[in-house]
Structure 1
Amino acid sequence: MTQVSDLHVTKNIPLPTPADLMAEVERTAEQATFIAESRQTIRNILEGKDERFLLVVGPCSIHDTKAGIEYALKLAKLAEEVKDKVYIVMRVYFEKPRTTVGWKGLIMDPHLDGSDDLAEGLRQARTFLREIIDTGLPTATELLDPITPQYIADLISWSAIGARTTESQTHRQMASGLSMPLGFKNSTAGDLVAAVNAINAAGRPQTFLGVAETGMASAVTTSGNPDCHIILRGGENGPNYGADDVAVAIEKLQASGVSDAIMIDASHANCDKDDKKMPAVYREIIRQRASGSDRIVGAMLESHLVAGNQKFPQPLADLTYGQSITDKCIDFDTTVELVKETLDALS
């Protein structure tokens, strides 16, 4: 018989079911309580019930869990110092979208060698998230693959849909069923309409193909996620963190009847992916907030132990400890400086 299926599939390796992995790397009762409380705090900030500034900060991606834990311990101490005015959530990004090809994140390739050991990647992701929560930090991630949330979403306090996938029906449907607050980034071109439409769609009931905790394909029906908001991250047409850009965004959001809470990403196209420009962008965001722009509810910063980034792939022994292998980050000393400036500005 003529072969018509799997002409280009070279492997198809079964993974542990979400239920099995969650039983193996179990969420404790204390962790569940912390996640629920941190999600509610973020909801309150989005709705203006909590006046603190929401800061999502951390490495562009997690590739070395040891360095990630060292970073988290430092960040947890800083978060405690500023908690009255700034609510810090740590970036814990395991999936990286690629324009063409490249390392796709810890879940896909945890050994950084192209072996694509997804089962181990998912195991490491759950383990790492538990360790971050135990430092007292809420967690944030970008959800790229629609199956991933079944394995890790119970340990996430806030999530994002990236610029490349904001227009995706699959991701809007997925977002409609997620249990945490979520930000949609504007498109890579800088267009806001796609993100506004995404917030609208994700807030409504949806039915779509999914995967149950048992690993079986299922028809998922959701009630809609009311806790979605926009993230301004700039685009091909330039940055969009200025006061005029914020005013335009608020107008579009209000006209569409969706949340007008705005988070601004100080990295990506807003700083031309240049870590040296990121502090100035962030300071302008804080200046606007301190001047009365209270619908700017938060910001994002890409930050690691060491500034900049390094080329990858390269021999693992040659990698600089605590430096990004994806986008450029500011270093931790600069992060401390900016967060303390935020505390002063908002006090």
Structure 2
Amino acid sequence: MGMNFSRKLPIPKEIKEQFPIDAKVVSVKENKDKELRDIFTGASDKFVLIIGPCSADNEDSVIDYVTRLAKVQEQVKDKIMIVPRIYTNKPRTTGEGYMGMVHQPDPEKKEDLIGGIISVRKLHARAVNESGLICADEMLYPENGRYLDDILGYCAIGARSVEDQQHRLVASGLTIPVGMKNPTSGDISVMLNSIKAAQVPHTFIYRGWDVTTTGNDTAHAILRGYVDSDGKSHANYHYEDMIQLFDMYQQRNLLNPALIVDTNHANSGKKPLEQIRIAKEILHSCRHSDDIKSMVKGLMIESYIEDGAQKIGEGVYGKSITDPCLGWEKSERLILDLADLL
């Protein structure tokens, strides 16, 4: 066979029993879940910032970063809800490169999936405990969601996964907001089909069970730009793009029309400093259109302690080992500027 079954992994229930969350994490999640849901349903007019490293590669530097965010959150809490981006699964276009903490708890060592699952759970629980914020991760592997569902506050479906049936069905069973990115081709109808699928109930096979979901009424759009057939990046965060999405939302009659704009990836051409300009342009569009303002719930920003990116093994503390990020000083200034503009 072309597949070797090395060892059976612990089921989520076993991991949760071995590494339980404490009362503080339970309380933070309950309160912050409601705050975030109110934003996506329109009950609150706060703005969401899903902000953090391209990949969570080191527990200490990620916790350092998240606790810095918690201090800034206190300064902007009347206008902005910060959701730290702690991405522990990384999709790779060619299947090569660092695939996240769930694969390699230590990026300089070989794969350790049991160690990865444990490290991911510990990291997310520690982040909530020490920051008082709920965090975001990407659903790269739908089967892994149960390892974190008692901790996680927000989930994103990536551009390469958004057409996958299992991702859509599992999203319909989550009780937290799930963002559906437009696919790498830029086809907005594919993203909207995913949102529709996630918003309605389903019955399907999941982790060996016959499961039924209730539908997720806070499944929503993420515009992240796209790449054409020649490999050239194109942005889709401009005023005209958002008006088009608003119109398409109305035609489809989806629940709680909402949009998060990803300021990096193809929208910035992976030039992280452009995120500052892009974020402010989006707020400018919100001021000029009530329709856009009602739909745009926030931004997704790639940010870490140090500007840019490094190769694995270079050892610069708080610097991304995947896509380049906006450094801390610029990120803090951007958050405060956005609060002033809201």
Instruction: Confirm or deny a common fold (TM above 0.5).
Output: yes
Instruction: Kindly tell me the number of residue pairs found equivalent between the two proteins.
Output: 331
* One-letter amino acid of the counterpart of residue 218, structure 2: D
- Displacement after TM superposition at 1:286 (Å): 2.1
Deviation digits for residues 145-164 of structure 1 (CA, Å, limit 9, x no counterpart): 01110111211111110111
* One-letter amino acid of the counterpart of residue 303, structure 1: S
Aligned to 1:97: 91
* One-letter amino acid of the counterpart of residue 220, structure 1: V
Aligned to 1:67: 61
Equivalent positions of 1:143-154 (< 5 A) are 143-154=139-150
Deviation digits for residues 270-318 of structure 1 (CA, Å, limit 9, x no counterpart): 0001112221111111222344423211001000000111123xxx3x3
Q: Structure 2 residue aligned with 1:17, among 3, 11, 17? A: 11
- Displacement after TM superposition at 1:12 (Å): 2.4
Aligned to 2:303: 303
Aligned to 1:85: 79
Provide the TM-score with structure 1 as the length reference. 0.93
Q: Structure 1 residue aligned with 2:274, among 274, 277, 282? A: 277
Work out the CA distance in 2 between the residues paired with 1:37 and 1:190: 35
Q: Structure 2 residue aligned with 1:262, among 237, 249, 259? A: 259
- Name the SS for the 2:48 alignment partner: strand
Aligned to 2:294: 294
Q: Structure 1 residue aligned with 2:159, among 159, 163, 167? A: 163
Equivalent positions of 1:311-326 (< 5 A) are 311-312=311-312, 316=313, 318-326=314-322
Work out the CA distance in 1 between the residues paired with 2:270 and 2:49: 19
Equivalent positions of 1:147-296 (< 5 A) are 147-211=143-207, 217-237=208-228, 238-258=234-254, 259-291=256-288, 292=290, 293-296=293-296
2:56 and 2:88 in contact (8 A); partners too = yes
Work out the CA distance in 2 between the residues paired with 1:262 and 1:276: 22
Sequence identity, in percent?
A: 34
- Name the SS for the 2:298 alignment partner: strand
Deviation digits for residues 96-138 of structure 1 (CA, Å, limit 9, x no counterpart): 0111111110001112245221111111111111111111111
- Name the SS for the 2:72 alignment partner: helix
Work out the CA distance in 1 between the residues paired with 2:311 and 2:52: 19
- Displacement after TM superposition at 1:23 (Å): 1.1
Which sections of structure 2, spanning at least 5 residues, go unmatched? Answer: 229-233
2:58 and 2:106 in contact (8 A); partners too = no
Work out the CA distance in 2 between the residues paired with 1:289 and 1:252: 18
2:28 and 2:133 in contact (8 A); partners too = no
Work out the CA distance in 1 between the residues paired with 2:335 and 2:284: 13
Work out the CA distance in 1 between the residues paired with 2:20 and 2:285: 42
Aligned to 2:231: none
State the Cα RMSD in Å: 1.3
1:264 and 1:298 in contact (8 A); partners too = yes
Greater alpha carbon shift after TM alignment, 290-299 vs 75-84:
290-299
Alignment of 1:125 with 2:120, yes or no, is yes
2:172 and 2:201 in contact (8 A); partners too = yes
Aligned to 1:27: 21
* One-letter amino acid of the counterpart of residue 16, structure 2: M
